[in-house]
Copies of this chain bind each other. A is one copy, B any other.
Amino acid sequence: MITPVILCGGSGSRLWPLSRAARPKQLLPLLGDRTMLQMTASRTSDSTRFAAPVIVAGAQHADEIERQSAEIGIAAGALILEPAPRSTAPAIALAALFAEPERPMLVMPSDHLIRDEEAFFRAVEAALPAAAESCLVTFGVTPDRPETGYGYIRRGIEIAPGVHRAEQFIEKPHLAKAAALAGDGEHFWNSGIFLFRPDAYLHALREHSPAVFEAAAAAAAGARIDGARIEPEADAFARSPAISIDYAVMEKAEHVAVVPVEMGWSDVGCWDAIFDLGEKDGGGNISSGSVLAIDSKGCLIRSDGPSIVAVGVTDLLVLASGDAVLIVPRGQSQRVKEAVEALEARGNGTFG
């Protein structure tokens, strides 16, 4: 058995204006009818292989997460409500503290797409023996482009079938370096998906980031438990540094492995990715909501608010939600962050 741990924090400002503080990316149906969280939770619904998931999320989203889980017939084994976001290392520590200590946990962001789930499951199977021996296993995605927005992992010797020592973690590279890394067959994207025993993670965390370990342990000890909901003690949790699992543990620990996998993975990180992944109509457009596209090509047009009418428009991303409309050419959706920052600087709170 494996305990799925679903990390459901994060805001996804690159998907503004649909994603906002109250409705972050993982709670939105960005690709089809189900939300990203629902797609992630469904992935581990096979109860012969997976226990009920542990979900770590912001307290303000508890009701919506329970609603979305119920909609797909899944009940979280634990819903751990972070008093404040402190990045992934403390969030995973909370999950590890409340999970079966020796049962491997499969840590997954709640907002990634995996199109080839069988390949993913095969990689998890390959990783299980190493995880059982207290190795911290990460899954490395075979690059298909010189992406500068991800971290890379260099694989070392094969220590078990399909499992390699993780030789080096490389932070987001510049384009020339990314091109070299993506092309040499030895480097893989850091997917943010992990498999390890809770005790192995907590052991490594205590050794390499003791402040995170102590804060999480104290917050767990003082937690208020109400059915599946767990509310860690806020003051204790606030003392944790905000730090990712990569910085806090994976880059420092001794027994770290990587399982390379091609599984149709995407972090669905921007509107361009959503256009690329989605199904187009006869005009090469993707539209949803109150949208009328006349003689337009290669556009993503979504609205849950105003009616959008596009005439003679090409290769444009148009996203309308509530009282905000974003217009950006395809290929430039990374720049949405500029817009969100500018709006926040103006202080008109349109992002919130």
A contact set with B: CB distance below 8 Å: 17, 292, 294-295, 305-314, 316, 318, 320, 322-329, 332, 335-336, 338-339, 342-343, 346, 348, 350
Contact = CB atoms under 8 A, between A and B. Distances in A.
B339 A326 contact: no
Nearest to A305: B306
Contact of A316 (B325, B327, B339, B343): B327
Contacts of A335: 294-295, 311-312
Contacts of A343: 292, 309
A328 B310 CA distance: 6
Contact of A325 (B294, B306, B338): B306
Given A306-B305, A306-B320, A320-B306, A327 B339 contact: no
Contacts of A306: 305-306, 320, 322-325
Contacts of A310: 326-328
A347 to B, nearest CB: 13
Nearest to A310: B327
Contacts of A348: 307
A335 B313 CA distance: 12
Contacts of A322: 306
A325 B332 contact: no
A316 B322 CA distance: 22
Contacts of A309: 17, 324-327, 339, 343, 350
Contacts of A316: 313, 327
6 contacts: A305-B306, A308-B325, A310-B327, A311-B335, A316-B327, A327-B327
Contact of A328 (B311, B320, B338): B311
Contact of A338 (B294, B324, B336): B294
Closest 8 CB pairs of A and B: A311-B328, A310-B327, A312-B332, A309-B339, A306-B323, A307-B324, A311-B335, A309-B326
Contacts of A339: 292, 294, 309, 311
Contacts of A307: 323-325, 348, 350
A332 B313 CA distance: 10
Given A292-B342, A338-B294, A320 B311 contact: no
A337 to B, nearest CB: 10
Contact of A329 (B313, B318, B324): B313
Nearest to A341: B294
Nearest to A340: B309
A325 B326 contact: no
